[in-house]
Amino acid sequence: MDRQEMVQWLQCNDEADLEVLRKRADAVRSAQVGDDVHLRGLVELSNICARDCLYCGIRAGNASVARYRMSREEVVACARLAVDFGFGTLVLQAGEDPGLTGAVVADLIKAIKQETDLAITLSLGERDLEDLTAWRQAGADRYLLRFETSNRELFRYIHPPRVGQPERDRIEHLGLLRSLGYEVGSGVMIGIPGQSYDDLAQDIELFKGLGLDMIGVGPYIPHQDTPLGKSGGVPLLGVEQQVPNTLVMGLKVVALTRITCPQVNIPSTTALATLDRQTGREQGLNWGANIIMPNLTPVQYRRMYEIYPSKAASTETAEQSRDTALRQIVGLGRVPGRGRGDSKHFQTLNSFKNN
């Protein structure tokens, strides 16, 4: 699919035409990665963040956030829960927390790997080569780092560099993660003020260009305590160019991503579920997604990890998150995945390398 066709789909509002797109993506999903929906237990282990991203509710400058960092024992207890629930992967996500040092995280990875066979995905922001190497050696399997938007100027505006630290290039960082042997995930927010249809089509082309294994996309949701949210999300572009941050736009991007990158793992994200609590997550699965990430973070911390307001599942227990996910999967006639659920793209890549 070329850029022009992609833009046409992104701008399409005809329901019958969009059903054609959905069916095409769903057929690619079924043929390439099957009916399994893999479950990843998500642990939001710290909301402490040294960054001041203009869009994010847990940015350093938001003084109204009560901060927490989970203890090693609390995280290991979540890993045990993931095993009890039959999940194959634990995702450890946090703000860019200086207290999560190379040694602290390596120790945590080793503790989880000693007790379980879980695959471990890290999503801890832009970390240096030394930490990323140590974590890979400790047993981490995957790393998620969204490039947020391929529009460099817009990215620099919404994601300023950390004070006193050199600016890092997230695209280069993804290459570094690949060279260390991680399964690599990235993604974008959809409908950032100032993001055009052409930018978004370029994002999807870049997913392919980067040869990613996992791709997570979700609508940008304004947070009232952030500079971008305070401006009311007023588009900096004309309406004919500005991408809206709607559920349907999120679904279109999931579908186009599946068609463009057939063998990758694509989660039906919390942002989709937040925009439509009843059906958002199932719709994501119907438009090309094959992963769900039920939240295992202890309830007392959930509300504090408010990257955007009214986040879905922010008051649920881990059991409720699991039960909802299983009900949704079975309700769609799909199958809860077994095992680690490594990306088919990653497996194919490695089988080429090994032959």
Contact call for residue 54 and ligand SAM (CB under 6 A): no
Which span sits near ligand SAM by CB under 6 A: 10-18, 142-150, 194-202, 329-337? 142-150
Three-class SS string for the chain?
CCHHHHHHHHHCCCHHHHHHHHHHHHHHHHHHHCCEEEEEEEEEEECCCCCCCCCCCCCCCCCCCCCCECCHHHHHHHHHHHHHCCCCEEEEEECCCCCCCHHHHHHHHHHHHHHCCCEEEEECCCCCHHHHHHHHHHCCCEEECCCECCCHHHHHHHCCCCCCCCCCCHHHHHHHHHHCCCEEEEEEEECCCCCEHHHHHHHHHHHHHCCCCEEEEEECCCCCCCHHHHCCCCCCCCCCCECCCCHHHHHHHHHHHHHHCCCCECECCHHHHHHCCCCHHHHHHHCCCCEECCECCCHHHHCCCCCCCCCCCCCCCHHHHHHHHHHHHHHCCCEECCCCCCCHHHHHHHHHHHC
Structure tokens at 155: 């990215």
Contacts of ligand SAM in 227-266 (CB under 6 A): none
Binder of ligand SAM out of 185, 193, 218, 284 (CB under 6 A): 218
- Contact flag: residue 85 with ligand SAM (CB under 6 A): no
Find the binder of ligand SAM among 148, 199, 213, 306 (CB under 6 A): 148
User: Which of residues 119 and 145 has its CB atom nearest to ligand SAM in the complex?
Assistant: 145
CB 57 → ligand SAM: shortest distance, Å? 6
Q: Does 298 bind ligand SAM (CB under 6 A)?
A: no
Distances (CA, A) of 80 to 75, 90, 117, 135, 197: 9, 10, 10, 20, 43
Q: Which of 41, 88, 95, 280 contacts ligand SAM by CB under 6 A?
A: 95
**Of positions 90, 96, 214, 249, contacts ligand SAM by CB under 6 A:** 96
**Counting contacts by CB under 6 A, is residue 221 touching ligand SAM?**
yes
Is 271 among the residues that bind ligand SAM (CB under 6 A)?
A: yes
Site for ligand SAM in 299-318 (CB under 6 A): 307-308
Distances (CA, A) of 72 to 58, 105, 107, 340: 21, 9, 9, 23
CB closer to ligand SAM out of 55 and 182: 55
Least CB distance from residue 80 to ligand SAM, whole Å?
Answer: 24
Site track 167-196 with ligand SAM (rule: CB under 6 A), x = hit = ----------------------x-------
Smaller CB separation from ligand SAM, 301 or 308:
308
Which span (88-96, 111-119, 260-268, 347-355) binds ligand SAM, by CB under 6 A? Answer: 88-96
In the region spanning residues 112 to 131, those forming contacts with ligand SAM, defined by CB under 6 A, are: 123, 125
Query: Which one, 110 or 162, has the nearer CB to ligand SAM?
Result: 162
Member of 138, 145, 254, 329 binding ligand SAM (CB under 6 A)? 145
For ligand SAM, the binding residues (CB under 6 A) are 55-56, 93, 95-96, 123, 125, 145-146, 148, 189, 218, 220-221, 223, 271, 307-308
